[in-house]
Amino acid sequence: MIDLHVHSTFSDGTLTPTQLVEHAMENHLTAFALTDHDTVDGLGEAFQAAEDKPIKVISGIEFSTEYNGQDIHIVGLDFDWHDTSFCQELDHFRNARFERNRKMAEKLADCGFPITIEALQEMFGDAVLTRAHFARFLYEKGCIPSMNDAFFHYIGNDGPCFVPREKVTPAMAVHLIHKLDGIAVLAHPMQYHLSDSQLKELIRTLKPEGLNGIEAMYSRHSVSQENRVRRLAQVMGLAVSGGSDFHGSNIPGIDLGVGRGNLRIPDTTFENLRKHRDRQY
């Protein structure tokens, strides 16, 4: 079994890349992709930790993008993460995220919370800050009863302290992954609450840019939702991907490789994604 959607402490996970390699072996995985948000900074450690071990690390990333006012995530797999132009593009993504985070911290401070960008960086080090870090900071400081409370009352999409990021489209992310000979996957499509026709329209905009797959096997997908995505993949000519979206203790109840206990992603999933990619080039 494998897992093609995993996060580390370099974004909003709670295990280091080295700990992920160890945990993946404990869970009897043969491979996993480290797909931190808008960064590849953890990949070097992950590859080094897996050296001479019976597990394969796949280069990965998860881009946060916006489409018709909806937050859409694109996972990139098996690409040249050392490419100079790619690193420059990531700097642009990170700068946009930093500016968004600064404004969100200011809004939360105006609501009376003891939060600053500097305080977040002191608590979380060099991690790419996401809203999960804001939620954990407020929870650890005793400002809110749970992390979910932060999203529900303050930093959710409709919250008073939410700040949208500079617009980066899914097509831009897919195109960037395609330029690096990578595999581009539409992540957790059922989380967007789009109709079949809306999902098909989104896929039609992304296929010319190089979209290869869609995430059907996913921790939060029911059996009917997984089957729905599989049918959509077949109709739209996409390969099927799968991942736990493991974040460690930041999202309790979801484990690496097995999700909520019944997730199974066979090795052939990655092989089929690579075949789909190779047909495009």
The full set of domains in the chain, from first to last, is: 2-90+166-280 (3.20.20.140), 101-155 (no CATH)
Tokens of 118: 């500097």
Mean pLDDT throughout 161-181?
88
Say what the pLDDT of residue 130 is.
86
Question: At CA 192, angle to CA 107 and CA 23, rounded to 5?
Answer: 85
* 201 exposure class (CB count in 10 Å sphere: 0-12, 13-18, 19+): middle
Q: What is the pLDDT of residues 59-69, one digit of tens each?
A: 999 998 888 87
58 Cβ neighbours under 8 A, 6+ residues apart: 4, 31, 32, 33, 34, 77, 78, 270
242 vs 70: CA distance, rounded Å: 22
Mean pLDDT throughout 45-68?
94
Q: For residue 99, what pLDDT band results from cuts at 50, 70 and 90?
A: confident
Mean pLDDT throughout 268-277?
96
Say what the pLDDT of residue 58 is.
98
Q: For residue 206, what pLDDT band results from cuts at 50, 70 and 90?
A: very high
Minimal CA–CA distance to 218: which of 198, 196, 190, 199?
190
Give the mean pLDDT of the chain: 93
